[in-house]
A and B are shown apart, each in its own frame.
Chain A
Amino acid sequence: MVNFIIKNIAQRIVLLIFISIISHAIVHLAPGEPSLVDPSNPRMKAEDIQKIRAAFHLDEPIHIQYVFWLKDLFTGELKSFKDNQPVLGKIWDRFLNSLPLFILGTLITWFLAFPVGIQAALNRGSTFDKTGTFLSYAMISIPGFFLSYIVIIFMVKTFDVPVIGMRTFGLEDSSLLFQSMDRIWHLTIPALMSAIVGTAVLSRYVRSQMLEVINQDYIRTARAVGFSNDTVIYRHALRNALLPFITMFGLTIPGLIGGSVIFETIFAWPGMGRLGYEAILSRDFPVILTLNFISAILVLIGTFVSDILYAIVDPRIKF
């Protein structure tokens, strides 16, 4: 077990180094430079650009820049090109904002997808199953921002609730209850929107997984022994059907950054996805690179956790 873990971690660290090299190369070799974002700005003189380039090591060869980036990242000295703030601090602030959105989104996904998927599998071919299947395809196929706009207009017109941003401006002096209610309203719709695709995909997986397990011999045996239907389904079938979802749980972690760009932009949510989007717009290389790096770390942690969990839960897997 210990051997397995050590080997696994070592492999992942090697992967991580390659990822950082590739992403560094992609960002730096692509045309477009921070100094070119605003070429018409009269205050940017040639010598200013020179000064900026020197300060951020942009004149060094690319492998030296890579070393500088890694060194600055690990000493916490890495500064954003845009406002000269420490990158890690900036990302940490945005991470704290993204976290509630991500947690609520994941909760909605898992609490909706499992009952729907199980019901669909148990009543295969029923109206519920067919509608569910069709709806989940429709949810996968609709452009997320299109649906979000419709929902925003609908919610604001019917319920008169605020949906844009993290909080209503000017409520800082109101009572705690009022403030938290406000925060919850602001949180619900973005979380729901970002959960929709996940719910659709996951409920399809649950359905097919459940169908596979229900047709196994041990389920027939359990029925033959005379267990009640509920016992068979929830104790015997569900537990076996759940196994692959441990893997999926690990894989949802990277959704923290990549999956949220669109929704955080629509809902003006100051999270990590939007930080990335803003950084891309202003060619803020340190922020882009560090976000890429962090999300790669998140992917690797996610797959690592799911590998370990899988090995713990499923006794058939040996090291």
Chain B
Amino acid sequence: MNPPTAIIEADALPPQMGLFQERWEFFKRNRMAHASALFLMSLMILAILGKVLTSAVVVFDPKAVRLSEKFLPPLTPFTSEITPKEDRPAFGIYLLGTDELGRDVFARMLEGTSVSLTIGFVAVGISITVGVFFGGLAGYYGRKKLGFITVDTLIMRFVDIMLCFPTFFLILTVVALLPPSIYNIMIIIGLTSWMGTARFVRAEFLSLRELDFVTAAKSQAIPEWRIIFIHMTPNAMAPVLVSATIGVASAILTESALSFLGFGVQPPDATWGNILSDGKQFIFDAPWLTFIPGISILIVVLAFNLCGEGLREAFDPKLRKAR
């Protein structure tokens, strides 16, 4: 059987580029989105570095308290005689100043980078998993009846119910009632934001399930869960990817808003949100404690949003023409 296949493959004109390569080429043409994507990649490397450095190297210790050194403005060289030598900040300079307990803001921001990004990614990971699961089921089994109600109706009514809750108020309620922990915050942000994904995926599945490759897969008696999650889901990922990128941005914002109200990640763990909300009490004496985390959040969330918008344009042929 092998020789004929080889001939056909040789005859066929291979596409110039793969689908994702083509999209990537288009994505690169949007300079702001491209720059944001590169920025975010370097930020992720920084976050991993920061995680390693702050937990391993003692000069980066974000929890080192030096009460004689509090409220030093950024770029103050380390000159204190009182503070022990091993609490010296990295490079002998307070790059971003110190806070009300004399902790090095640079080290805290480094630690916060990984925590904030983890919250964003895990929350979005949860919301995508739940969204793809429910959206896939609703789209694939749409017409199947469970008693008097179809699967599609059941799941989509549930989505409607979830959409009726005031999201931020719900998150606040649950976070306040549960014991404060970083995992609870991730899980709750994730579980209250999957409805959009479920709708996209369902819409994609409604058209995908009529296509030939699904019929072919069914004819080979491939189990249904494999068809749904291994064959069809990758084809429905484009809108999910876009909403995931924007979802990370809004998860970081939600975390900072929760921190502001006092329900965010609890000290001594540092996130950008709680550095910002701790710093706001000292906005007149130490404005850098407010502005450094505030502007970092602004830039990173902006980069996620621009990147998501660039992806949306790259994946949506209709928007591509309009540009």
Q: Which residues of A contact B (CB under 8 A)?
A: 15, 18-19, 22-23, 26-27, 30-32, 134, 137-138, 140-146, 149, 153, 211-212, 215, 254, 257-259, 261-262, 265, 273, 276-277, 280-281, 283, 288, 291-292, 295-296, 299-300
Neighbour of A288 across the interface among B160, B173, B253, CB < 8 A:
B173
Pair A149/B280 contact, Cβ less than 8 Å: yes
Q: 20 extra interchain contacts, Cβ-Cβ under 8 A, other than A23-B165, A138-B298, A149-B283?
A: A22-B161, A27-B173, A30-B173, A30-B177, A31-B177, A134-B32, A137-B309, A141-B298, A142-B294, A142-B297, A145-B256, A145-B280, A149-B290, A153-B283, A215-B322, A258-B167, A262-B260, A292-B165, A295-B169, A300-B164
CB contact list, B287-322 vs A, under 8 A: 290, 294, 297-298, 301-302, 304-306, 309, 322
* Cβ of B52 under 8 Å from chain A: no
* Cβ of B143 under 8 Å from chain A: no
Contact size range, B: 35 or more
Pair B166/A143 contact, Cβ less than 8 Å: no
Interface string of B256-295 (1 = CB under 8 A from A): 1100110000000000010011001001000000100010
Q: Could you name 6 residue pairs across A and B whose Cβ atoms are closer than 8 Å?
A: A18-B157, A143-B276, A257-B166, A261-B169, A292-B165, A295-B169
* Chain A residues near B165 (CB-CB < 8 A): 19, 23, 292, 295-296
CB distance from A124 to the nearest CB of B (A): 9
Interface of A is mostly: helix
Pair B261/A292 contact, Cβ less than 8 Å: no
Pair A146/B164 contact, Cβ less than 8 Å: no
CB distance from A173 to the nearest CB of B (A): 33
* Chain B residues near A291 (CB-CB < 8 A): 169
* Cβ of B101 under 8 Å from chain A: no
Neighbour of A281 across the interface among B163, B176, B178, B260, CB < 8 A:
B176
Q: Complex: how many Å from CA A182 to CA B297?
A: 34
Task: Say whether, besides A140-B305, A149-B283, A280-B176, A258 and B168 are in contact (CB < 8 Å).
Answer: yes
* Chain B residues near A23 (CB-CB < 8 A): 165, 170
Task: Say whether, besides A146-B294, A258-B167, A277 and B261 are in contact (CB < 8 Å).
Answer: yes
Pair A283/B168 contact, Cβ less than 8 Å: no
CB distance from B53 to the nearest CB of A (A): 26
Q: Complex: how many Å from CA A277 to CA B168?
A: 11
* Cβ of B174 under 8 Å from chain A: yes
Pair B290/A146 contact, Cβ less than 8 Å: yes
CB-nearest residue of chain B relative to A138? Answer: B302
Q: Which residues of B contact A (CB under 8 A)?
A: 32, 157, 160-161, 163-170, 172-174, 176-179, 249, 253, 256-257, 260-261, 273, 276-277, 280, 283, 290, 294, 297-298, 301-302, 304-306, 309, 322
> Interface centre among A23, A137, A211, A283, by most B CB within 10 Å?
A137
* Chain A residues near B305 (CB-CB < 8 A): 137, 140-141
Q: Complex: how many Å from CA A211 to CA B302?
A: 24
Task: Say whether, besides A22-B161, A26-B174, A215-B322, A262 and B261 are in contact (CB < 8 Å).
Answer: yes
Pair A258/B161 contact, Cβ less than 8 Å: no
Q: Complex: how many Å from CA A140 to CA B283?
A: 23
Q: Complex: how many Å from CA A129 to CA B255?
A: 31
CB distance from B306 to the nearest CB of A (A): 6
* Chain B residues near A215 (CB-CB < 8 A): 322
Neighbour of B297 across the interface among A146, A254, A259, A262, CB < 8 A:
A146
Pair A292/B257 contact, Cβ less than 8 Å: no
Task: Say whether, besides A146-B297, A292-B170, A27 and B177 are in contact (CB < 8 Å).
Answer: yes
Pair A137/B261 contact, Cβ less than 8 Å: no
* Chain B residues near A18 (CB-CB < 8 A): 157, 161
Neighbour of A141 across the interface among B169, B174, B249, CB < 8 A:
B249
> Interface centre among B166, B306, B322, by most A CB within 10 Å?
B166
Pair B169/A143 contact, Cβ less than 8 Å: no
* Chain B residues near A273 (CB-CB < 8 A): 169
* Chain A residues near B163 (CB-CB < 8 A): 299
* Chain A residues near B273 (CB-CB < 8 A): 143
> Interface centre among A146, A212, A254, A291, by most B CB within 10 Å?
A146
* Chain A residues near B277 (CB-CB < 8 A): 145
Q: Complex: how many Å from CA A211 to CA B176?
A: 44
Neighbour of A145 across the interface among B177, B179, B260, CB < 8 A:
B260
